[in-house]
Chains A and B, each alone.
Chain A
Amino acid sequence: MTQGLLVLWIVSSLAIVFETRTYRLIIYFSIFSLITSVAYFLLGSPDVAMAEAAIAAFASIFFIICIEKYYSRKENVEKDSAKGESLARKAVKAVPALVLCVGLFFLVIYFIPGIEPSHYLKHLYLQRFMTDVGGENAVTAIYLGYRVYDTLFEALILVIAVVAVTHMSYSEKTQVADGSHSEIETSRVAALSLRIICPIIVAFGAYLIINGHISAGGGFQGGLALATFFICRYMVYDIYDISVKNVLQWEEFIFAIIIVVTAIAVFLGAATYMPAAIVPIYQSVYLIIMNLLIGLKVACAFFVLFYRYITIERE
Chain B
Amino acid sequence: MGIFNTENLEIFSLALFFISFFGIITSKNMIKSIIFVMLIQTAVIMFWLKLGREDTATPIPPIIYDPALLDYMERIADPLPQALTLTAIIIGFSVVAVIITMFNALYRLHGTADWKKLEEVEGD
Chain A residues with a Cβ under 8 A of chain B: 2-3, 6-7, 9-10, 13-14, 16-17, 22, 25-26, 29, 32-33, 36, 39-40, 42-48, 51-52, 55, 58-59, 62-63, 66-67, 69-71, 75, 77-78, 80-82, 94, 97-98, 100-102, 104-105, 108-109, 112, 115, 117, 119, 121-123, 125-127, 129-130, 136-143, 147, 150-151, 154, 157-158, 160-162, 164-165, 168-169, 171, 214-216, 218, 220, 298, 305, 308-309, 312, 315
Q: Is the CB of A29 within 8 A of B35?
A: yes
Which label, helix, strand, loop or mixed, suits the secondary structure of the A interface?
Answer: helix
Partner of A55, one of B10, B18, B93, B104: B93
Chain B residues with a Cβ under 8 A of chain A: 1, 4-6, 9-12, 14-16, 18-23, 25-26, 28-29, 31-32, 34-36, 38-39, 42, 45-46, 49-54, 58-65, 67, 70, 73, 76-80, 82-87, 89-91, 93-98, 100-105, 107-108, 112-114, 116-117
Measured CB to CB, the closest approach of chain A to B61, in angstroms, equals 5
Measured CB to CB, the closest approach of chain B to A7, in angstroms, equals 6
- The interface residues of chain A lying within 8 Å CB-to-CB of B105 are 168-169
10 smallest beta-carbon distances between A and B, as pairs:
A44-B59, A44-B77, A161-B94, A138-B79, A142-B83, A138-B62, A80-B114, A154-B87, A3-B4, A77-B29
Q: Is the CB of A125 within 8 A of B46?
A: no
Partner of A7, one of B4, B73, B112: B4
Partner of B87, one of A17, A26, A150: A150
Q: Is the CB of B87 within 8 A of A143?
A: yes
- The interface residues of chain B lying within 8 Å CB-to-CB of A168 are 98, 101-102, 105
Partner of B79, one of A117, A126, A165: A126
Given contacts A139-B82, A158-B94, A171-B108, contact A6 B6 (CB under 8 A): yes
